[in-house]
Structure 1
Amino acid sequence: MAEKTKREIPSALKRTLDFDVKLTKDFLDAVKDKFPLQNYRHHYKFLEISCHGVPWLAFTIFGLYTFDKPELFTNLLVALLLDIVIVAVTKAFTRRRRPAYNVNDMFMSMSVDKFSFPSGHATRAILAAVFFIKLYPLSGILFLPLVGWSLAVCVSRVLLGRHHILDVVGGIVIGLLEAFVMNQLWLSDSSARYIIQALGGEDPWSSA
């Protein structure tokens, strides 16, 4: 049986990826020189879990059948599923490995999680921030916390050693594009109610 040939990487792309690896490592070394990075790892892990897809999906499905806010939870579910599909397909296609110094202790990892580009946490953090700031605006008092959380998640992916800088930048761009797509696909309250009732066979918010 013929050996599987290794995929050739264009020279320009290879130079970009090599530069990204060096830039990321230099950034981490610079941070370690000024701060006791290892002492903050549990904070980065908390940020990792706070933006993991499984808790977000569980919260959304719970909210969908618990609270009478179909527009919110239906659109949030569509956004999360869209993000999962786009990130999984992109990772499977690019197949970029995580940094060599990454510690394999990720919360509930899946098969495609061994690949690094793009950062799924970055896509989800940016998508969630735009979702609750622009698409389904919450109280204005939450603007700064949402922006701060989403940016902290993105930076923590590099500081944890999970991703190179380019993986996170790519994740941010994809997250913004996903938010744009959701703006075009947005389901009104009546449409969301119709879909939920059609799939569930009954009104989940009925007191009967």
Structure 2
Amino acid sequence: MPSPKAKNPARPGGSPVLGGSNGRFDFMSKPNLLQRQGSDPVTARLRASESPTRRRGSSSSTGSGPPEEDGIRLNPSLVRVALSSLLAVDLWLSKRLGLCCSEDSPWGSVRPLMKLLEVSGHGIPWLAGAAYCLYKSDSAAGQEVLLNLLLGLFLDLILVGIVKTVVRRRRPAHNRMDMFATFSVDRYSFPSGHATRAAMCGRFLLAHLVLAAPLRVLVFLWVGLVGLSRVLLGRHNVTDVLFGFWMGYWQYNLVEMLWLSPNVLQRLLGD
């Protein structure tokens, strides 16, 4: 008759272990079992690393990764906030200063004068005038100055076209596209080509022409009025004109670096 002890159910939390008396399974509690397994340090470390608590901690840490990254991405930087604020102020101020954008505007009566200033800063009159004066000039010094002025005008067209194509900023919404002799790149606003040309030509005239004091004041006044007319007509935003003045100022330095000497001029003219 079998012993009653063999029919006893396993205690909760127990584990079967071989080697009991008479080849039977004996049950041992978890603390005692872990004490036996703890005698092997490698096995103990492996089991500790695979514990449910550690796995839950690792999964929770990995799961919290994307929200933190999203939080960082959604947090705007200080530079981005500053640029957005500057853009908002620029658009607001440009719209307020567009006083001649149409005949019905507050300063619509002076729109023809602003358009005359627009033509005075256009590239075609400057290129045609410099080429004609170069053709009619008899002195080598005058030809040298006019040839380098043509070089500066062509550089201005190329550089402004490149920047406009890269930036692709649209013209203000209140602008009327009734400009004189426009090209495909002129649908973009940044920077103002009239402002770059006025700044470069103004520096060029002041540096290479002997002008009386009243004429020098007129040159400064013309440069400022050309830039102002671009905003009053609604052609450009304020930052387009300011950057155009800065760009034209440094374009003159580039012309001085690439200055064509009289020897180069003679070779070009075939003398």
Q: Provide closer, same or farther for how the CA distance between residues 103 and 176 of structure 1 changes in structure 2, counting only shifts above 3 A.
A: same
- Contact kept? 2:94, 2:234, Cα under 8 Å: no
Deviates more, 1:174-183 or 1:43-52: 174-183
Q: Does 1:137 align with 2:206?
A: no
Instruction: State the shift of 1:28 in Å.
Output: 3.5
Which 4+ stretches in 1 moved above 6 angstroms?
Answer: none
- Listed as ranges, the matches of 1:161-172 within 5 Å are 161-172=234-245
AA at the equivalent of 1:57: L
Give the 3 Å change call, closer, same or farther, for CA 199–183 of structure 1 in structure 2. closer
Q: Secondary structure at the match of 1:186?
A: coil
Could you tell me how far apart the structure 2 residues matched to 1:165 and 1:150 are? 15
Structure 1 counterpart of 2:268, which letter? Answer: L
Aligned partner (choices 139, 149, 155) of residue 222 of structure 2: 149
Structure 2 Cα separation of the partners of residues 103 and 26 of structure 1? 16
Residue 260 (structure 2) pairs with residue 201 (structure 1): no
Counterpart secondary structure, 1:77: helix
With CA pairs under 8 Å and 6+ residues apart, which has the higher RCO, 1 or 2? 1
- The separation in 2 between residues aligned to 1:153 and 1:55, in whole angstroms, is 14
Superposed displacement of residue 180, structure 1: 1.7
What pairs with 1:38-187 in structure 2 (closer than 5 Å)? 38-68=108-138, 69-134=142-207, 136-141=208-213, 142-187=215-260
Tell me the CA shift for residue 66 of structure 1.
1.1
CA deviation after TM superposition for structure 1 residue 14, in Å? 4.2
Structure 2 stretches of 5 or more lacking a match? Answer: 1-78
Give CA deviations for 1:147-186 in whole Å, capped at 9, x if unaligned: 0011000000000100000000000000111112222223
1:178-207 CA-to-partner distances (Å, cap 9, x unmatched) read: 1122222233xxx24x334433434xxxxx
**Cα offsets for 1:95-137 (capped at 9, x unmatched):** 0000001011100001100000000000001111111112x13
Identity of aligned residues (%): 41
SS at match of 2:181: coil
Contact preservation (8 Å) 2:172, 2:236? yes
State the superposition RMSD in angstroms.
Answer: 2.0
Query: What displacement does 1:11 show?
Result: 4.1
TM-score calculated relative to the size of structure 2: 0.63
Equivalent pair of 2:144/2:265 in contact (CA under 8 Å): no
- Following superposition, the deviation at residue 145 of structure 1 comes to 0.6
Gaps in structure 1 of 5+ consecutive residues: 1-9, 203-208
Q: Which residue of the partner structure matches residue 6 of structure 1?
A: none
Between structure 1 and structure 2, the one with the greater Rg is 2
Question: What is the rounded CA distance, in whole Å, between the counterparts of 1:11 and 1:124 in structure 2?
Answer: 31
Question: Shift of residue 62 of structure 1?
Answer: 1.2
Q: Which moved more, 1:67-76 or 1:164-173?
A: 67-76
Query: 1: CA distance between counterparts of 2:188 and 2:182?
Result: 11
When residues 164 and 98 of structure 1 are mapped into structure 2, their CA distance, relative to the original with a 3 A threshold, is same
Deviation at 1:19, TM superposition (A): 2.5
Q: Distance in 1 between matches of 2:94 and 2:228?
A: 11
Residue pair 2:98, 2:233 contacting (<8 A) in 1 also? no
Partners of 2:205 and 2:192 in 1: CA distance = 20
Aligned positions, number: 184
